[in-house]
Structures are given as structure tokens and as C-alpha cells.
């Protein structure tokens, strides 16, 4: 089943600048997809549109479908698709956690849509929620930090906390927008391994935007490359050729990137 489907999606913020130009895209349940492309190519906009943070432009045939439900159509976010929100977990480059709250509470926030309105208003969680959150922290190797304030954790630890929150949310789809952009190589590797585990062990569909082509190539089954608002490559990392990289990045060291 196509869990994410975009049809003829356009996005213009400022007249004359097509940020997304007729994007057609299908992602199947359980796929692990890297989204690459130079700065300004539209990766974040695409992720934000799938996440429901940004509206697509009007267009009679345009739509975004998630898990078989129309989420956006003809420039409108459909209110009836709100129930899908809980199925989409999102991890950004930074500021994923509320700094003044304990890590455990941050992870529990992922469970808000599973508790009653009143309980969620007061941040009251039951034992089952806490067990799920603690298990999620254990999964990303962060159990020992459960009671530490999020603001006192390193960037990599915070990202792993964000992954735990998505796990606790029990979302089927995980979108991550440059999750390792501000991390050192060792932390990046740990965060990426945890993200991959979400796909391999927990069977989540994964769409991750990355600037590191080498990471995309090594860890993902499918690469979608964007340039100036269009998809210019969609396929296996194995099949990416030097000419594709030159087209995507306009680079000089394409040989090096392929090795």
C-alpha cells in the first residue's frame, strides 16, 4: 500500500519562485527513503507539506494522501484528516524537545493524543504510558537520562530523545528533516542507527532529509533527489551515477561522493 502519496503538488510562497513544481510521489508502507538535494531545493517544504504544517497550492487534481486518507486537496487541509496526525511522527534538525521539562515528560508528550483531553491538559499520564515511554527511551539507549531536564542534554542525546518520543507516539510514519545537521560524526552515527532501527525493528515508514549523500547511500534503500522544486532522481542508491550527482549538486567531486 502507498502510505504517502502526492499528486501534482505545487507550492509557491513568493510569486515567480516555484518551490515545488508538480511533485508526484508514492512511498510504500515500510520503505526507508532519503531525501537529498542542494539547499533551497524544497526538501523541508515537502516534509512540512506531508506533515500538514504547510498547505499545497490550489489545483483541481492536486492532493496529498496519507494512509489512504485525503489529507490535502486543491489547496485545502482537510479537517477530517486530523485523525492521521497521530500517525505521523516528526523530528526536526533541532528544538525537538521542551528544554525545561524532563526527558521522560518530553517522551510522554508523544502519547498526548492517546490520553483523555483532561489528562493531556494537565500532563497526567498513566502507568501504561510511562512504561511505554521508558521502553522507548531504553530502545534509543537513553533510559539513564529519563529524569534529566532536556535542556541539559547534548544535541545527539536530544535527537535520540526525539526518536524515543516518536516511538512512544506509535506513529506509523516518521519524517525527519536534517536530523543530524548539527551533530558531530559519532553522534550522527548513533542518531542515524536509531532512526534506521525505527524502520527495521519497528517497521515504520521513514522519510529523512539529509545533506550527507554518503549517509543516504549507505543507510537507505531509496533515494529521492530534489533540485529547484523537482524530483530529479528517484531510485536505488546503487544506481546513482556520476552524471546524476553532477545534475543534483552541480558538483566537482562527484567521483569522491560515489566511493
Residues at the site binding ligand ATP, with contacts judged by CB under 6 A: 13-14, 19, 37, 39-45
Q: Does 81 bind Mg ion (CB under 5 A)?
A: no
Minimum CB–partner distance for residue 146 and Mg ion (Å): 31
Q: Hey, which residues between 163 and 182 contact Mg ion (CB under 5 A)?
A: none
Point out which span in 27-35, 39-47, 70-78, 231-239 binds Mg ion (CB under 5 A). 39-47
Min. distance of Cβ 178 from ligand ATP in angstroms?
6
Nearer to ligand ATP, 39 or 116 (CB): 39
Total residues binding Mg ion (CB under 5 A): 2
Q: Is 45 in the site for Mg ion (CB under 5 A)?
A: no
Q: Does 44 bind Mg ion (CB under 5 A)?
A: yes
The region of 43-51, 65-73, 158-166, 179-187 touching Mg ion under the rule CB under 5 A is 43-51
CB of 54 to ligand ATP, least distance (A): 8
Residue 167 · residue 139 · CB < 8 Å = yes
CB of 43 to Mg ion, least distance (A): 5
| Binding interface with Mg ion (CB under 5 A) | 43-44
Amino acid at each position: 500500500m502507498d502510505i504517502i502519496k502526492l499528486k501534482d503538488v505545487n507550492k509557491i510562497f513568493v510569486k515567480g519562485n516555484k518551490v515545488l513544481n508538480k511533485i508526484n510521489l508514492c512511498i510504500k508502507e515500510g520503505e526507508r527513503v532519503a531525501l537529498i538535494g542542494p539547499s533551497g531545493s524544497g526538501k523541508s517544504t515537502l516534509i512540512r507539506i506531508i506533515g500538514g504544517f504547510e498547505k499545497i497550492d490550489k489545483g483541481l487534481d492536486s492532493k496529498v494522501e496519507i494512509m489512504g486518507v485525503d489529507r490535502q486537496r486543491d489547496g485545502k487541509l482537510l479537517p477530517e484528516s486530523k485523525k492521521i496526525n497521530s500517525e505521523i511522527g516528526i523530528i526536526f534538525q533541532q528544538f525537538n524537545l521542551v528544554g525545561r521539562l524532563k526527558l521522560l515528560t518530553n517522551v510522554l508528550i508523544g502519547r498526548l493524543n492517546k490520553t483523555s483531553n483532561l489528562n493531556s491538559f494537565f500532563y497526567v499520564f498513566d502507568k501504561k504510558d510511562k512504561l511505554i515511554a521508558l521502553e522507548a527511551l531504553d530502545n534509543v539507549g537513553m533510559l539513564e537520562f529519563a529524569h534529566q531536564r532536556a535542556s541539559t542534554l547534548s544535541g545527539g542525546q536530544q535527537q535520540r530523545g526525539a526518536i524515543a518520543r516518536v516511538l512512544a507516539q506509535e506513529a506509523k510514519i516518521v519524517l525527519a528533516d536534517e536530523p543530524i545537521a548539527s551533530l558531530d560524526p559519532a553522534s550522527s552515527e548513533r542518531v542515524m542507527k536509531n532512526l534506521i532501527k525505527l524502520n527495521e525493528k519497528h517497521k515504520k515508514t521513514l522519510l529523512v532529509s539529509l545533506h550527507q549523500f554518503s549517509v543516504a547511500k549507505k543507510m537507505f534503500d531509496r533515494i529521492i533527489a530534489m533540485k529547484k522544486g523537482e524530483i530529479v532522481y528517484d531510485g536505488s542508491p546503487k544506481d546513482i551515477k556520476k552524471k546524476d550527482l553532477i545534475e543534483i549538486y552541480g558538483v566537482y567531486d562527484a567521483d569522491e561522493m560515489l566511493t
